[in-house]
Amino acid sequence: MIEINSFLVMNNFSIKDTMRIIGNNGLGIAFVTNNEGTLLGTVTDGDIRKALGNGTSISTDVEQIMNTNPITVQEEFTSHDLKNNVHQRIKGFSRYYTLKVPVVDNNKKVVNIVMYNLHDNTYELLKEFNSHQTKDVKKVLVVGGAGYIGSTLCHQLIEKGYDVRVLDKMTFGHGSISELQKLPNFELLEGDLRNITTITSALENIDAVILLAGIVGDPASSKIPKETIETNYFATLALANACKYYQINRFVFASTCSVYGSSSGIVTEEDALNPLSLYARSKIDSEQSILNLKDTNFAPTMLRMATVYGLSRRMRFDLVVNIFALKAATGDTISIFGGDQWRPFVHVEDAASAYIKCLEAPLKDIAGETFNIGAENYTINQLGEFAKELFPEATIEKTDKQVIKGALDSRDYKVSFAKAKRIIKFEPQRTVKKAMLDIKNAIEQGSLDNFNDKAYYNVEMAEKKSVPDNSKEI
């Protein structure tokens, strides 16, 4: 149960202290009172970010920026009073927005809070409200939101009622998010994360950031090392710094289980890292630098994702499960290099849902935390057996050549996902076998074709020119 006290700040509290209280209460608002507890005004996380963006210092007293004429209702209010008070004042909010209206007694002391849902005009009182889901995040910036995981995540976010802005340089085209572009609660900012002006524009009116953009995979990273270091490290850190400055304190970073490289036993988040590539090193450098920014307010979270598989609107056929399914379904030979190496796996829909879990978890549970995100560990040979079982006509050969295009891949590790299950309640739902069948069906129905198209393979697109620095909204 949330207490009223967790919403109250004194008028001489700093913006930073106020933001910490707002972050912890999880509702995006604080009520400013004097010594006697009389309500003087309200302040939202959005008000604070706007003030910081206008150059206000984070140590300024909150009374300098509060709203001195907030909507309130008296004790014993009727639903008619509430509706009237709200609709006289509120226009143009997202239809999913939940307004938090203070209930005051005759001495203007806050005694309760009404959570008023603008989309259906229903409400509930805080004292009856017993949800563990935080409601401070309304608009999410997904950097890299047009990619394999990002486009899946954006569809899930929109379905759940979030407002979404994507910043992406659109390496793989617009197809993955074209349906979303028709929606009022979705925006695309086409631009390059490596541009500071683009970063600050992308962060306007944003409550939480999910950073997926990067040069992804060992082969692509080794082909364009300069761009990898710029994107996966320098630009990543610049974005995290900007978020901390603007008090966008939920910052979820896409790291990878590749940081474990080759390890024995089942590795947990506490185990030693053993990066075998520039890609993995760039992720470790970013993890460490972002976590160093953590303070009482800024609450970054690292998601070390297993190898992802499954259908996405931006399909990748450079991921082992997807390529095995493609080969089996199209009568091509599946070549297995080695085969005894262990890897962790997760379906793209489940991977996407892990990010949403982080948006909805209490800040204290995710602040400065690292989670392995995956479902199961398999050897590459086991994946071959799944393909053979599902597609008996499939041919499998052992080879001394790489299965996936690019540099030699010596990763071999088993990963524990217990922490994510325990803390953010991450429960993956999908299986490798079902995903292989889904890919086969999509191929048979013609929704996937032209399998040699470079857009399916990150390494092939690695040298594609970035968009120019002057980002454009479309």
Ligand X SMILES: NC(=O)c1ccc[n+]([C@@H]2O[C@H](COP(=O)([O-])OP(=O)(O)OC[C@H]3O[C@@H](n4cnc5c(N)ncnc54)[C@H](O)[C@@H]3O)[C@@H](O)[C@H]2O)c1
Is 142 or 367 the residue whose CB approaches ligand X more closely?
A: 142
Is 124 or 285 the residue whose CB approaches ligand X more closely?
A: 285
Residue 231 interacts with ligand X (CB under 6 A)? yes
CA-CA distances (angstroms) from residue 7 to 2, 127, 445?
Answer: 9, 13, 54
Residue 103 interacts with ligand X (CB under 6 A)? no
Residue 404 interacts with ligand X (CB under 6 A)? no
Residues with Cβ within 8 Å of 429's Cβ and at least 6 positions away in sequence, in order, are: 347, 349, 350
Under rule CB under 6 A, which residues in 238-277 are in contact with ligand X? 254, 256
Residue 144 interacts with ligand X (CB under 6 A)? yes
Tokens representing residue 99 in the block:
């307004």
- d(C-alpha 121, C-alpha 134), whole Å: 20
How many of the chain's residues bind ligand X (CB under 6 A)? 29
Is 214 or 384 the residue whose CB approaches ligand X more closely?
A: 214
Is 31 or 345 the residue whose CB approaches ligand X more closely?
A: 345
Residues with Cβ within 8 Å of 296's Cβ and at least 6 positions away in sequence, in order, are: 16, 20
Residue 214 interacts with ligand X (CB under 6 A)? yes
CB of 31 to ligand X, least distance (A): 39
Is 45 or 192 the residue whose CB approaches ligand X more closely?
A: 192
CB 307 within 8 A of CB 320: yes
Residue 350 interacts with ligand X (CB under 6 A)? no
CB of 286 to ligand X, least distance (A): 9
Tokens representing residue 318 in the block:
């450079």
Stretch touching ligand X by CB under 6 A, among 146-154, 179-187, 239-247, 441-449: 146-154
> Which one of 194, 223, 343, 411 is in contact with ligand X (CB under 6 A)?
194
Is 162 or 456 the residue whose CB approaches ligand X more closely?
A: 456
Rg over alpha carbons for the chain, rounded to the nearest Å, is 24
Residue 300 interacts with ligand X (CB under 6 A)? no
Residue 85 interacts with ligand X (CB under 6 A)? no
Is 9 or 305 the residue whose CB approaches ligand X more closely?
A: 305
Is 62 or 320 the residue whose CB approaches ligand X more closely?
A: 320
CB 177 within 8 A of CB 188: yes
CA–centroid distance for 229 within its chain: 21
CB of 372 to ligand X, least distance (A): 10
Is 62 or 455 the residue whose CB approaches ligand X more closely?
A: 455
Residue 18 interacts with ligand X (CB under 6 A)? no
> Which one of 158, 290, 308, 436 is in contact with ligand X (CB under 6 A)?
308
SS3 2: coil
Is 16 or 313 the residue whose CB approaches ligand X more closely?
A: 313
Residues with Cβ within 8 Å of 157's Cβ and at least 6 positions away in sequence, in order, are: 140, 142, 164, 356
Residue 172 interacts with ligand X (CB under 6 A)? yes
Residue 35, burial from CB neighbour count under 10 angstroms (0-12, 13-18, 19+): exposed
CB-hemisphere CA count at 13 Å for 183? 21
- d(C-alpha 252, C-alpha 242), whole Å: 14
- d(C-alpha 320, C-alpha 69), whole Å: 58
> Which one of 19, 29, 213, 387 is in contact with ligand X (CB under 6 A)?
213
Residue 319 interacts with ligand X (CB under 6 A)? yes
Q: How many CB atoms lie within 10 A of CB 353?
A: 21
Residue 43 interacts with ligand X (CB under 6 A)? no
CA-CA distances (angstroms) from residue 298 to 127, 288, 467?
Answer: 28, 14, 31
Stretch touching ligand X by CB under 6 A, among 33-41, 81-89, 164-172, 243-251: 164-172
Of the candidates 210, 257, 253, 284, which has an alpha carbon nearest to the alpha carbon of residue 376? 257
CB of 217 to ligand X, least distance (A): 7
CB 240 within 8 A of CB 290: yes
Residues with Cβ within 8 Å of 184's Cβ and at least 6 positions away in sequence, in order, are: none
Residue 317 interacts with ligand X (CB under 6 A)? no
Site of interaction with ligand X (CB under 6 A)? 144, 146-150, 167-172, 192-194, 212-214, 216, 231, 254, 256, 305, 307-308, 314, 316, 319, 458
